Amino acid sequence: MIIDRIENASRYYALGNGLAQAFEHIKNNDLTEIAPGSYPIIRDKVRMIVFDSKQTNTDRITMEGHRKNIDIQYWISGSELMGYAPLLSHNLLEPFNEEKDCGNCSADASFTRLEPGMFAIYFPTDLHTAVIDEKCNSTVRKIVFKVCVE
């Protein structure tokens, strides 16, 4: 897992062409007005998903992990408290969904607040989740890039 600001993104280009392309897309496009939805950036390699969401409190914290994709999550507006835990040997709460490339686990997490201009990179060895607290804004615009593991 990596957390940083978008102005430092070029430090991570060496981690793969897909990550570099996602960061270039963030830097070279106005993502404030794009409609929510899924957009291919590089066919079968990089997909962008735009979320506008109202945050809701929950008493159940599950963490998600992926096998085929790296997540780059970038905050346009609002903030979220993001949880992280290493995958290690955490048990799945339900069978892994191969089609969605997503599995949910229960794990103890460490938390960091992500705000506009910040990003997090979650690798297939990382579990992650967003939770709500009283310091977070109620509306979040977040871009998630799904980068196929090279």
pLDDT digits (tens, 9 = 90+) for 94-110: 888 899 998 888 888 88
> Across the chain, what does the average pLDDT equal?
89
Report whether 69 contacts 59 (CB < 8 A).
no
90 pLDDT band, cuts 50/70/90, is confident
Query: What tokens does 23 get?
Result: 């960061």
Chain-centroid distance, C-alpha 33: 19
Q: For residue 24, how many other CB atoms are within 10 A of its CB?
A: 14
Query: Does residue 30 sit in helix, strand or coil?
Result: coil
pTM more than 0.95: no
Q: Which domains does the chain have, with CATH numbers?
A: 2-90+101-148 (2.60.120.370)
CB hemisphere CA count around 70 (13 angstroms): 22
Nearest to 140 by CA among 80, 82, 73, 81: 80
Q: Is residue 104 within a helix (H) or strand (E), and if so which, with residue range?
A: strand 103-105
Report whether 70 contacts 101 (CB < 8 A).
no
pLDDT digits (tens, 9 = 90+) for 29-60: 999 999 999 999 999 899 999 999 876 555 55
